[in-house]
Every structure is written in structure tokens, then in C-alpha cells.
Structure 1
């Protein structure tokens, strides 16, 4: 509760259908059927129900809510929870002889704590994250207007001499359809090409 109101904006409005709200979050169906239940001396109706899945609740036996993940904003919300970063602990130091009131704001400190399994994982340089299937951002550009990126501290003369910026996913896709028999037989669109070929960034080729 914040200032006497629920920070998650409950109770929600009744809605006959599930629709996307103005802030990209789904506005779920909430029937105005007159049904109420008494919880801790308060009568609650469908406006107070959090989206849930009875099967998942029974399977995992824990607090769990369900969200429709169909927009960019909700995908970012999902990733925020998966990739929270390192585990953190909160601690403060107290003098046992001191009887004065504790100022939690001044005493609060954050410490970076790495568990033994995570430390071992990092020492052996195992992958910390991965995405399966791999997601490609397919480049689309006009002739000789491809995007080129490099580190700001790079030697520009070395880049111009050693790196061929003319090769991109798109140009090599056209080249493969001219020279590669497998690609010619597939006759697939650019968007479907990564299902059959893998892009190698180092050599800038499809294989």
C-alpha cells in the first residue's frame, strides 16, 4: 500500500473481454457476476483477482502469477526478472553496547556476494546466459549503405585495410543464392534463410 492505495492499482475495472491497455499491459477479462468472497473481514470480487493458473499453482506449490507476454514492454519486463544480475545481501554493523535508536538509512550497505557455484562457473569461464534458438537481427539496407560498427578506440587505418565492410548478411544472402546449389534449391526468403544456414561473424559468411 502507498498513500492508502494499492501500488499495483487494485481493484481493477470489470471487463467483458481481455484487451491490450494503453500502457501495453493486458487488461484481463473480469466478469461482473456478483460473486464475492470474504477474506480477512473484507468482501472481495473479481476486481481483486490476480491473473493465475490453477495447474501451475498445484504443480509448483508456490506464489505465482501469469502474464500474457505479447508486447515488447512485457518482454522487457520478463527479462528484467530473469537477468537481475548478481545476488546481493544487505547488512549493517551494530555496536552491542550502543542502546541508541538505529538509523537504518545511514547504516544500510550493499555487498556483492558471489556464491561458490557461481564463482566456480566464472573461473572455468562457462556461459552465464544463452538463448535458444539463436535470434538473428537480419540487416536490411540499400546498395552500399550498410551499417558499419567498430570500437571507438580502434585503429581506423587497420579497419580499412583488414576488414571488408561490403560484406553483410544481406549481400552474402544474395551471393549464396547465386553460387550455392543448396541455397538455390531451397528458394527460401531472406527471413527464412537462418533456418538452414548459420552466419559466421568473423568471416562474414553463411555456412
Structure 2
């Protein structure tokens, strides 16, 4: 997962901060799922069906964002899929746009308000069903998001007439009160053992894109990223990986050797297991990030077969590192540039002059018109 985080930071270095942070969650009530269930089956009984439908929906979502330019042309993107404890998958998506969204354009892309029920009843029902947080707080203190008497997601949010730039990386979206032109809705909430009907307003709406919510009818949270301070947190959050737990075995009264008895385990739900069995991608990004191989002299990995064993013994395969050194000597770059500006040189070569092409026979550098667009990255290597 550290590698994927480094890839995200490579995008940040080349293209600046991401513009949008999207969370797309599987909806077990999708028609494609309900129509394929047998009599008496629930969606939780068909993890294979959930995995296949969610994959198709995610592909469609990315095509709408990157090819249909629903926001505007995308420069690069990456996503990572995770699973909730109950097994439903959700994708965290980071999007870099060619033209940055300005603060006065946020309301045209993202909404944090209930739509007008009279003008758009279908969107109203979708938002009320999928994009309402809780409610929690004093209304429902037993909600799972409550900790020490406060909501960990910071709901209910402040009602505002206009969108304001926040200090923590997210803006304060426009959430008008009923007196200011906002709308209200009645929903049913389970509080304790009772189901109660309560009235909510824009304080509880999760930010969304109206077009995406209308198309996918699922929880599709869209956030605007406007602070450099939040970039590293977001890049790490998107690639944080699966849940982990510590467990061990032993008898009462015996001495505990944590090194020997404890193992690091990973929680994998049934739905995640099915997706891995079907060999569906869990992480994806564009453009490709090419890492500069780091190894000692003559320390690169060698892959050989019975047919090319003699050839591999005579000549070691080329790597991006050895070919990089070859071209730096060919271009007569000063030695201190190769040491001090190692990463900057490789990125400049990727962007202006050369690209790498790797195969079973090794790596070579190609001129830019011979290769697709890529991003270069040099991972940190400790000196000792």
C-alpha cells in the first residue's frame, strides 16, 4: 500500500493537488442485483453478483468522469476499493482535472442540499434514501458514528447561505435553512428498538453530484479538495489497505512471548474474497507510474529459462536504473546532477525527452512520441 501512496504523491508533484475526492458505495437494491436473486435470496447470499455488478457500475462511473468529462477533462485519476464490515464494497477515487475548479464554481458541481421535491421528485427520493447521514447527535445518541458524545463525521453541519472555503481541506458547502430557501424531508429512523419518523433539513445531507446520484442511485459522496495540507492525508487514506487485527494463542498462566505467539492478521470479508477469486482489480490509476529501479551494481533481478540461460549469464538484463545512467553519461550531465537531482532528472526525462519501455528482455528509453503518457517516480532508499 505504501507504493500506491507514493504513486499518488507522484501525481501531486507533477499535477498539483487533486480536485475531487469521490466515494462510491455499492447499493444492494440495484435492479441488476434484485432481478438475478432467486426466491428467498438476499443480496448478502450472492457475493458473486454484488462483485460483478459493482465492478460494472464502477467502470461506468470512471468512463463518465474520464471520457464523458462530466466535471471537465481529467488529467489523471486513481482509485482503491475497500469493504465495509457487512461486506459491501466502496471505492475511494481521486481525480485531477486539467482545469482546476474555482471556489465560485463549487456549487455548480457539488450540492449539499435537499433538492426541490416538486421540481425533481426522483432526485429527491434518491438523496433522501442514499445521501443522508444518521441522524445522530441528540436525536440518536446511540448511533455508530458517535464517540464521546460527538459525531466523528462532524454532523450536523452548519447551515450557510453561501459556500465558504474551509481550513481543513474541505469547503463549507452551501446549506440553506428553511427560512433561507432550503427544503426539509421526513425520514424513518431506528432509535433504540423503535422506528420513529423525524424531520431533517440540509444539516444532514452528505455532499453529492446531482448528475451522478441520478445515474447510479447509490451513495456517491463528492468532495472538493482545496487545501495542500489535506493532500497527504487523502492520498494515504485512499490507499490505507484492509483492516488488520492482532491475535494469538496460549494457555493461562504461561509466559507470553509476543514475538512468537502473536501474528498479524488481515480481515477479509466474503465479498472481498470473491472479488479476489474473480481477479477483479482493486487498485487502478492513470497514467501509469514508472518507478526507477533501485539496486546495487550487478544486483538486478534476473529472469531466465532453459533457452536463454547462457545469454543471461553473459549479459545481465537492462533496468531503468542502468539505462538511466547510460543516458546521463551520453548527455554529459555533471556527476553532482546525477546524485543531487536524481529524481528531478528522471521526471524531466519522462516529461520532455524519454520514456521507458520494459519487457522480458530488459528496459530501454524511447522518445516521447513513441510511448504513451506516463509519470516517473523514484522511491526513497535509505543509505544504510
The normalised TM-score by structure 2 is 0.29
More strand by share: 2
Q: Which has the higher Rg, Structure 1 or Structure 2?
A: 1
For CA contacts below 8 A with separation 6 or more, give which structure has more relative contact order: 2
